[in-house]
């Protein structure tokens, strides 16, 4: 398996997925869009993994590379029909690249939360293998407002109606984070945009409390990432089904 990873800030990388990819013998190349790197030709890559970032999908005027990234994603999903995995901003970029609306939330969602599969999610090749409710880490102030053509909403919670979606058979987006490591909250808390949303949502002492709660939940989050990775790679044809 050869994976192409799109990053938009250095601290938002594949996280715990790095160990899981290594265990599978996968290799990966990273494109850091925010520092001016450009992607290679998609030939030779089996999976496009698109990570999060502090920018919004509609900021093409400030960040012209966003338009190029969305065009690449659109080609990958619509023309090449290759497996896609988007997390947080990567989830929103999938929607925006395919013409679906993305916009601000009334209140940012930050912290450990639970999401529940929709009826479609309960039958989905990935989510049907995961225990519900799904414990996850959230850190976003924007959301997908409607699924793209050919898409279906797979998970939701009271704060966000499209926490997960599938477009076609192989493109998946997840608003929440699956790839959590012990460094996730400490590192992301140092990003100014994330620090502001954290304080606005959880208060002045929120960072320490969030970090402590995430550390306590890490065994469950790590086990969830492993189950997710195995189910996802099998569902999109990158691993033999169990």
Look up 177 and say whether it is catalytic.
Answer: yes
- Whether 51 maps to a domain, the answer reads yes
- Whether 45 maps to a domain, the answer reads yes
Per-residue exposure over 180-189, b if at least 16 CB sit within 10 Å of its own CB, e if not: bbeebbbbbb
> For residues 7 and 30, is the Cβ–Cβ distance under 8 A?
yes
Query: CA-to-CA distance for 191 and 188, rounded, in angstroms?
Result: 5
> Could you list the residue range(s) of the whole structural domain that residue 102 is in?
2-235
Taking only the tens place, the pLDDT of each residue in 100-135 is 999 999 888 999 999 999 999 999 999 999 999 999
* Stated length of the chain: 242
- Whether 182 maps to a domain, the answer reads yes
Look up 179 and say whether it is catalytic.
Answer: yes
Task: Pick the catalytic residue from 12, 13, 69, 88.
Answer: 88
pLDDT on residue 141: 93
Task: Pick the catalytic residue from 13, 91, 140, 177.
Answer: 177
Which residues in the chain belong to E strands, given as ranges?
2-7, 27-32, 47-50, 84-87, 102-117, 134-144, 151-157, 160-167, 171-174
- Whether 240 maps to a domain, the answer reads no
- Whether 131 maps to a domain, the answer reads yes
Q: What is the pTM of this model?
A: 0.95
- Whether 34 maps to a domain, the answer reads yes
- Whether 242 maps to a domain, the answer reads no
Number of domains in the chain: 1
**Average pLDDT of 35-47?**
96
Sign of the dihedral through C-alpha 180, 185, 188, 194: positive
Taking only the tens place, the pLDDT of each residue in 198-240 is 888 888 778 888 899 999 999 999 999 999 999 999 999 998 6
pLDDT at 241 over 70: no
Look up 160 and say whether it is catalytic.
Answer: no
Any idea what the CATH number is for the domain that residue 194 is in?
Answer: 3.40.50.880
Query: CA-to-CA distance for 216 and 79, rounded, in angstroms?
Result: 43
- Whether 195 maps to a domain, the answer reads yes
């Amino acid at each position: 398996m050869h994976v192409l990873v799109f990053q938009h800030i250095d601290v938002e990388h594949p996280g715990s997925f790095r160990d899981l990819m290594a265990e599978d013998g996968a290799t990966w190349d990273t494109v850091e869009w925010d520092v001016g790197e450009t992607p290679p030709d998609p030939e030779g890559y089996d999976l496009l993994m698109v990570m999060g970032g502090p920018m919004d999908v509609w900021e093409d005027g400030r960040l012209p590379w966003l338009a190029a990234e969305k065009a690449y994603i659109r080609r990958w999903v619509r023309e090449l029909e290759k497996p896609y995995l988007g997390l947080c901003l990567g989830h929103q970029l999938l929607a925006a690249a395919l013409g679906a609306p993305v916009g601000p939330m009334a209140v940012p969602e930050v912290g450990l939360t639970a999401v529940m599969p929709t009826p479609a999610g309960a039958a989905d090749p990935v989510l049907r293998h995961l225990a519900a409710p799904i414990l996850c880490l959230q850190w976003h102030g924007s959301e997908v407002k409607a699924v793209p053509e050919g898409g279906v909403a797979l998970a939701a919670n009271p704060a966000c109606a499209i926490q997960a979606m599938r477009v076609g058979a192989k493109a998946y987006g997840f608003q929440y984070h699956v790839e959590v490591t012990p460094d996730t909250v400490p590192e992301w808390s140092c990003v100014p945009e994330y620090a502001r949303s954290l304080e606005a949502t959880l208060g002045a002492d929120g960072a320490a409390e969030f970090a402590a709660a995430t550390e306590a939940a890490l065994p469950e989050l790590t086990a969830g990432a492993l189950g997710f990775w195995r189910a996802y790679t099998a569902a999109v044809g990158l691993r033999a089904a169990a």
